[in-house]
Structure 1
Amino acid sequence: MSVYQPLFNYLDDMGLSAWREQLQSQIETQLSVRRHGKMPMWQEALNALPNVDLSTMELKNRVDIGTEGDLDGFPRETLVDLLKTFHPWRKGPYRLLGIDIDTEWRSDWKWDRVLPHIQSLHGRRVLDVGGGNGYHGWRMQGEGAELVIGIDPTAVFTMQYQLMQHFIKSDKHFVLPIGIEHMPENLSLFDTVFSMGVLYHRRSPLKHLMELRSCLRPKGELVLETLIIEGELGMTLMPETRYAKMKNTWFIPSAETMMLWLRKCGFKNVRCVDENVTSLNEQRRTDWMTFESLADYLDPTDNTKTIEGYPAPMRGVFIATAP
C-alpha cells in the first residue's frame, strides 16, 4: 500500500477527490526514475530496512524512535549504511533505533523558538511549506495536530520522510514532493500554515504570501520564518549575485518591511516574535551532511559578514492571521 493512502482516503472523505487525483499523478511523476537517477538506489535501501516492533516512540519533545534493542539482531552498522544512502541529511536531529542522525541543522532549536508563540496545534490541520524531510512535521504531530502535510520538491527529502514513515507508520503526517505553486488555488483548508526558510528563495515574495494565504481557512494562523536584515521600514537587501553562496536568494527584508508585506497581503494581527542570528552550532557540517555549511558561507576573518560581504544570516519569526 502506498504510504500516502491514508492521506488519499482523508481527502476523499473531505470531498477533495479532485485534489487527491492530482496528487497521485504529481507524486508518481516527481518520484519517477526518469526524473531522479538515484531513485532505484533509494528504493533498494527502503526495501532493505528491517521491519521492527517499536518499544518506544517520542515525537513531542524530540524525534526519538525505538531503541537499539528493537533491531532484534539486525546489524546496526548495516542500518547506518542504509541511512547514509539518503545523504545529505539537513533537517533534524533524529534518533532512530539508537542511532543519532546528526543533521546539518539543529532544527529543534528553531522549533523551540517558534513553538511558544503559536496557537496550539492540537486537532488542527497543518501545512508545512518547504518542510524538507518532515522533521518539523513530526514535531507538529507530537503537538497533537490532526493532519500535517509537508511539501518540498526535493526528492531526497521525500525519501528521507518515507524512511522514517517505514518505522513510525503515521496516518497523520505526510511529505509530498511538490512546491507551493502546485497547491490548488483558494484551497482554504488549513488551520495553520508554516513557511520556514522559503520566502527569500521566491522571486516574488508577495506572490508567495498570497499563495500561503490561499491555503489558510479564514482566521487561520500563518507562521513565517525567513532571513531578515537590520533596518527601518522599507529596507530590503537584494543581493547582486549570491548571498552566503546561495544563488537563489532574491529579497531579504527588514523586520518592519516584512510586516508591511504581510499587511499589504491582507494579514491581520501581524507581529515579529523572534529574531536570531544563525550560529555555527546551529548550522554546520556533520558526518550526515558532508557538503559545505554555514562556516564556509561566512567571511573567514569576520563572521558577522557573508563571504560576499553582506550581513551574516539573521532570521525572524512572524505570526499573522488570515482575513
Structure 2
Amino acid sequence: MTHFDWQTCYQRLFEELTASNGPQARWAEQLRKQLTLRFEERPHGDMVRWLNALDGLPELPEVNGNLTCPAVTLESRTPLSSAQQEQLEASLKGLMPWRKGPFDFFGIHIDTEWRSDWKWDRVSPYLSDLSGRRILDVGCGSGYHCWRMLGEGAGRVIGIDPGLLFLFQFLSVKRYLGHVPVDLLPIRMEDLPENLQAFDTTFSMGVLYHRRSPLDHLLELKGTLRKGGELVLETLVVDGPEGYSLMPEDRYGQMRNVWFLPSCDTLLRWLDRTGFENARVVDVTETTTEEQRSTDWMRFNSLKDFLDPEDPTRTIEGYPGPKRATVIAEKP
C-alpha cells in the first residue's frame, strides 16, 4: 500500500460534522483542507512503511474488543494460525516505537513505554459519568485513553495529536473494531476552530507544559467546551507557593519544549483567571521509572536516562523530578 485513503477513513466523521449546525459544519470544511495538506501535499517520509505495516495486519472475522481492562484488548473467536501470528507481530513491530498503552492484539502484548493505564486509574474515579458524552482528547498519542473513554460509554470521542505514527497505531486497533464512534485527527490544538463549543468533556493530559503560553492553551480548551462542560487537565507541576512556576533554562528531563511547570496553587489560579469554575486538584503523583521506561516495543532512552544517576529525585539538568497533577474544572 502506498496511498492512504483518508477520505474514506474519516467519511463518517465528515458526515456527522456536516450534518451539525454552526461551528461544527464549518469545521468539516476546514478539516478537509488540513488533511489534504497533511496527507497529499506534505506526506511524511515514513508513510509508506507505516501504511505497509497497517496493510499487513491479517484479516480476522468476529473480533471483539475489551476496552475496560488495563490493556486495550482485541480478541478473536477463531484462534490465529501460526502464520497469522507471525504476520500480526511483524506488522505491529513495523509501527514501533509504541509509547502509550498497553495493548493486546490477539495474545500479542504490546508493553508500551508508558503505563497509560496507571494514569487512567488515577483520573477516572473523579470524572463525571462519561455515558453518552461527546469527548475531545487533546494530545491523545496513539489513542489509548480514547479507547478507555469509549469503554466507559462515551457517545463520541475525537482525539487530536499531530504525530502521524500515533495515527497508524490507532488505526491498527480501529480496523478490527469497525465503525465505532472514535476518531484520531493528526492535527494540532491551534488547528481547531475557535469557540467550537462542541464537547461535554475535554481532556488535556501531558500538553500544558509544552505550550509557550499556558493561559492561551487554557482559553483554547475552554473554547472547545459547551456551557457546563468539564475540563480534565493533567500536567507537570513543582512544589511552591501560589504564583510560583518553574521555567527551565533549556531542557527539562532532556525535553526541549518544556516551558512552564507551575505549583498546584498557581495552576488553580491560572484556571480561575481564564474563566473556569470549581477547579480542584484531584491527584498529584510522582512519575516513576516503573510507569515510564524502555521496553521491547520502545527501545530508545526513557525516564531513567533523564534523571540524575546520583540523585534520581532530580532531572539530569538538576531540576525537581517529574511530578504530575490532575485538575478538574467546569466551564460556566
Task: Please give the TM-score of this superposition, normalised by the length of structure 1.
Answer: 0.96
Give the aligned partner of residue 130 of structure 2.
Answer: 121
Flag structure 1 segments of 5+ consecutive residues without an equivalent. Answer: none
Aligned to 2:95: 86
Q: Are 1:130 and 2:139 matched, yes or no?
A: yes
Match of 1:2 among 4, 8, 11: 8
Residues 1:103 and 2:112 aligned together: yes
| Residue equivalent to 1:59 | 67
SS of alignment partner, residue 284 of structure 1:
coil
Name which of structure 1's ranges 163-172 and 81-90 shifts more when overlaid on structure 2: 163-172
Which stretch of structure 1 is more off in the superposition, 36-45 or 267-276? 36-45
The equivalent position to 1:191 in structure 2, one of 189, 193, 200, is 200
CA distance in 2, matches of 1:287, 1:27: 32
Find the partner of 1:248 among 248, 253, 257: 257
Counterpart amino acid of residue 221 in structure 1: E
Residues 67 and 96 of structure 1 are in contact (CA less than 8 Å); yes or no, is this contact kept in structure 2? no
**Residue in structure 2 matched with residue 11 of structure 1 by the alignment:** 17
Question: Per-residue CA shift, 1:13-57, capped at 9, x if unaligned?
Answer: 213332112212222322347431110111122222211123432
Q: Report the equivalent of 1:224.
A: 233
Deviations 1:155-207 (A, max 9, x none): 11011111111111243110000011000111000000000000000000000
Identity of aligned residues (%): 51
**Per-residue deviation at 1:228?**
0.3
Q: CA deviation at 1:106?
A: 0.2
1:228, 1:253 within 8 Å by CA — same for their partners in 2?
yes
Q: Per-residue deviation at 1:81?
A: 1.4
Are 1:141 and 2:150 matched, yes or no? Answer: yes
Give CA deviations for 1:116-152 in whole Å, capped at 9, x if unaligned.
0110110000000000110000000001111000000
Q: What secondary structure does 1:128 align onto? A: strand
**Separation of aligned partners in 1, 2:59 and 2:9:** 15
Please give the secondary structure, in 2, of the residue aligned with 1:282.
coil
How far did residue 67 of structure 1 move?
4.2
The answer (yes or no) to whether the contact 2:93–2:297 under 8 Å persists in 1 is yes
Matching residue's letter, 1:86: L
Alignment-derived partner of residue 308 in structure 2: 299
Distance 1:6 1:71 in 2: 30
Q: Is the 8 A contact 2:63 2:77 kept in 1?
A: no
Aligned partner letter, 1:308? E
The CA RMSD over aligned residues, in Å, is 1.5
2:296 is the counterpart of 1:290: no
Q: Which moved more, 1:95-104 or 1:57-66?
A: 57-66
Where in structure 2 are there 5+ consecutive unaligned residues? 1-6
CA contact (8 A) 1:104 1:285 kept: yes
* Matched residue SS, 1:66: strand
Residue type at the aligned position of 2:46? K
**1:23 equivalenced with 2:44 (yes/no):** no
Does 32-41 or 137-146 show the bigger shift? 32-41
Q: What residue number does 1:43 align with?
A: 51
Per the TM alignment, residue 266 of structure 1 is displaced from its structure 2 partner at its CA by 0.3
* Residue identity matched to 1:39: M
Contact 1:52/1:70, CA 8 A, preserved across alignment: no
Amino acid at match of 2:104: R
Query: Which amino acid in 1 is paired with 2:279?
Result: V
Instruction: Provide the secondary structure at the position in 1 that maps to 2:230.
Output: strand
Amino acid at match of 2:245: T
Identify if the C-alpha distance between structure 1 residues 109 and 220 changes in structure 2 by more than 3 Å, giving closer, same or farther: same
Q: Give distance in 2, aligned partners of 1:315 and 1:39.
A: 33
Determine the C-alpha separation between the residues in 2 that align with 1:161 and 1:55: 16
Task: Tell me which residue corresponds to 2:211.
Answer: 202
- Rounded Cα–Cα distance in structure 2 between residues aligned with 1:198 and 1:69: 40
1:269 matched to 2:278? yes
> SS of 2:294's equivalent?
coil
- Tell me whether 9-18 or 192-201 shows the greater mean CA deviation: 9-18
When residues 296 and 69 of structure 1 are mapped into structure 2, their CA distance, relative to the original with a 3 A threshold, is farther
Once the two structures are superposed, residues 240-279 of structure 1 have per-residue CA deviations (whole angstroms, 9 ceiling, x without a partner) of 0000000000000000000000000000001000000001
Q: Secondary structure at 1:232's aligned position in 2? A: coil
Amino acid at match of 1:18: R
Match of residue 310 from structure 1? 319
Q: Is the 8 A contact 2:292 2:302 kept in 1?
A: yes
CA distance in 2 between counterparts of 1:273 and 1:170 reads: 34
**Paired letter, 2:80:** L
Q: Normalized against structure 2, the TM-score is what?
A: 0.94
